[in-house]
Structure 1
Amino acid sequence: MKCKRFLSISILGVFLLIGFVYYTTVFIFIEDWVGLQSSAGSLNVIIFTFLVSLCFFSFFVCVLTDPGHVPDSYVPDIEESGVPDEERRKNSVQSRHCDKCSTFKPPRAHHCRVCRRCVLRMDHHCIWINNCVGYWNYKAFFTLVLYATIGSIYSTVMIVACSIQKDWEFSERVSFKIFYVTSGVMMVALSLTLGTLLGWHIYLIIHNMTTIEYYEGVRAAWLARKSGQSYRHPFDHGVYKNITLVLGPNMLKWLCPTALSHLKDGLNFPTSRDRL
């Protein structure tokens, strides 16, 4: 059933893009620069192949992992259900009711119109993995963006290095020059795009936010300023604690997309109020 997610034009596009970048980087740019048979060429091929393999692995984990669904038996805690309505509206951490699913949804869960269900700690629905990015596959999504960014920058460096040493004055094929320029522009654009996305999710991780919560927080902060109050994201526990809550307490496993032993059920999350 999960394999049907691969039957998507966007996922096919990702496979084609990765395949094109890998082929051109290895068999054209590295070959033209130092040659595949040289020690420098072999080393660069090994490094780049390793990066692409990590990228593919994270991509498969993202696609095949269920981001997290709300159990049918889920009901809010008795303590929460007894909170007055006014207090519940003020506290964004309280459980809410989903009108579309006709059931309760836990804190940080949101309804996805594409998946037609509520997703635990939903960040967004990503067409490039044909899946939601949620509680169970957010780490894999982050590592995917990280490895893809490093790989695209690596490919860009290979193109630049090959272009610098190439004797363009005596090159007879204009089409080959156009290919180099087009590939260089494409890889620079891809590196900037992925780098920006990586920077965005690093920001979210160090603040323990999702994309949805960020935009909700912008509005909440604006309303708080209007009433002369201050707003703080309720799940912000400080930079290091926030990172460990998302990536895990073991730094050696931060970049492993399947190291998820630190995750629990995704129904409850510690808040800054819990420390008071």
Structure 2
Amino acid sequence: MKCEKFVAFPIFSVFLVMGFVYLVTVFIFIEDWKGLRSTAGSLNAMIFTVLASLSLLSFLVCVLTDPGGVPPAYMPDIEHSGDSDPVAKKSVAHLSHCGKCAAYKPPRAHHCRVCRRCVLRMDHHCLWINNCVGHRNYKAFFVLVIYATVASMYSSIIIVLWAFQKEFNFNGRTPLKIFYITCGIMIVGLSLTLGTLLSWHIYLITQNMTTIEYYEGKRAAWLARKSGQNYRHPFNVGGYKNVTLVLGPNVMKWLCPTAVNHIKDGVDFPTARESL
């Protein structure tokens, strides 16, 4: 059952961190900074609550959505691979076969050692969602990183503004000082970590790459340079189209983690050669 995915320490840790950051931000820093009964305080609390709720929704979608498995009857179309050389066709068939699953796999699919199966357009196995990030839940994962980054940065800004107006007079209560400083360092550090992760995946989306394909591409580019050739990621069909393939053609739905009607079967993907 899907609910069993939540019975894991990393999932519990994420819920714990999200709850802690929310409670500290709203009921300690905003309350102490503006007061929750003031207009400014209630407005900031409402904005942060919306961001936290969207982060939680995206997280749940990531955990519960199957990233996509290879169809049982899948067979690579070797005859239409664009190469008439029998040796080359045999090589294509070899590359499309997963020895661990003892079955063929589509382009961009990779075997996950944790899930023990091949995952369509696999990016990586994420410990924190207890699930693979793949074809069907990559958008939800990316949207989660966006909301979590914005929420943690918003919290960091509130802490900084609170610190500027706060008179640090705790009447010798050292534990309280340590608590405030620890919370600030933790949330600012979380913002930097999530911001770095967001930047990385923005780059991947604009290049229409997965994390696995990025590292595979580095080796392919090195081999191409050795032979005096140029390497281009075969699924890079242009910046805007790359983005729409992941987030969808409707810009208004880009930040909705459940708006995935544009996602196809995950077996065939447009290539740079086809877009010429």
Indicate the TM-score class for this superposition, using the shorter chain for normalisation: over 0.9
> Larger deviation: 155-164 or 4-13?
155-164
The answer as to 2:164 corresponding to 1:164 is yes
- Paired position in structure 2 for 1:252: 252
Shift of 1:264: 0.8
- Paired position in structure 2 for 1:125: 125
Give the ranges of 4+ consecutive aligned residues of structure 1 lying more than 6 Å apart after TM superposition.
Answer: none
1:170–1:56 distance in 2 versus 1, CA, 3 Å? closer
What is the CA–CA distance in structure 2 between the aligned matches of 1:198 and 1:181, rounded to whole Å?
26
The answer as to 2:17 corresponding to 1:27 is no
What is the CA–CA distance in structure 2 between the aligned matches of 1:85 and 1:193, rounded to whole Å?
49
The answer as to 2:88 corresponding to 1:80 is no
> Larger deviation: 183-192 or 105-114?
183-192
What is the CA–CA distance in structure 2 between the aligned matches of 1:173 and 1:103, rounded to whole Å?
64
1:166–1:185 distance in 2 versus 1, CA, 3 Å? same
Paired letter, 1:145: V
What is the CA–CA distance in structure 2 between the aligned matches of 1:95 and 1:248, rounded to whole Å?
30
Paired letter, 1:115: C
What is the CA–CA distance in structure 1 between the aligned matches of 2:34 and 2:214, rounded to whole Å?
46
Shift of 1:66: 0.3
Please say if residues 159 and 180 of structure 1, whose CA atoms lie closer than 8 Å, have aligned partners that are also in contact.
no
1:231–1:45 distance in 2 versus 1, CA, 3 Å? same
Please say if residues 145 and 194 of structure 1, whose CA atoms lie closer than 8 Å, have aligned partners that are also in contact.
yes
SS at match of 1:183: helix
Please say if residues 112 and 119 of structure 1, whose CA atoms lie closer than 8 Å, have aligned partners that are also in contact.
yes
Q: Deviations over 1:66-108 (max 9, x none)?
A: 00001111111242397536545998x9960000001000010
> Larger deviation: 166-175 or 150-159?
166-175
The answer as to 2:149 corresponding to 1:149 is yes
- Paired position in structure 1 for 2:266: 266
What is the CA–CA distance in structure 1 between the aligned matches of 2:232 and 2:47, rounded to whole Å?
42
What is the CA–CA distance in structure 2 between the aligned matches of 1:94 and 1:198, rounded to whole Å?
35
- Paired position in structure 2 for 1:46: 46
SS at match of 1:79: coil
Shift of 1:268: 0.3
Return 5+ residue gaps in structure 2 as ranges: none
Count residues in correspondence: 275
1:189–1:89 distance in 2 versus 1, CA, 3 Å? farther
Paired letter, 1:241: K
Return 5+ residue gaps in structure 1 as ranges: none
Shift of 1:188: 1.3
Paired letter, 2:23: Y
Please say if residues 6 and 12 of structure 1, whose CA atoms lie closer than 8 Å, have aligned partners that are also in contact.
yes
Please say if residues 237 and 275 of structure 2, whose CA atoms lie closer than 8 Å, have aligned partners that are also in contact.
no
What is the CA–CA distance in structure 2 between the aligned matches of 1:30 and 1:124, rounded to whole Å?
37
What is the CA–CA distance in structure 1 between the aligned matches of 2:49 and 2:203, rounded to whole Å?
29
What is the CA–CA distance in structure 1 between the aligned matches of 2:2 and 2:85, rounded to whole Å?
42
Q: Deviations over 1:85-140 (max 9, x none)?
A: 6545998x996000000100001000000000000000000000000000000000
Shift of 1:187: 1.1
1:85–1:22 distance in 2 versus 1, CA, 3 Å? farther
SS at match of 2:63: helix
Q: How is 1:195-274 mapped onto 2 (pairs within 5 angstroms)?
A: 195-274=195-274
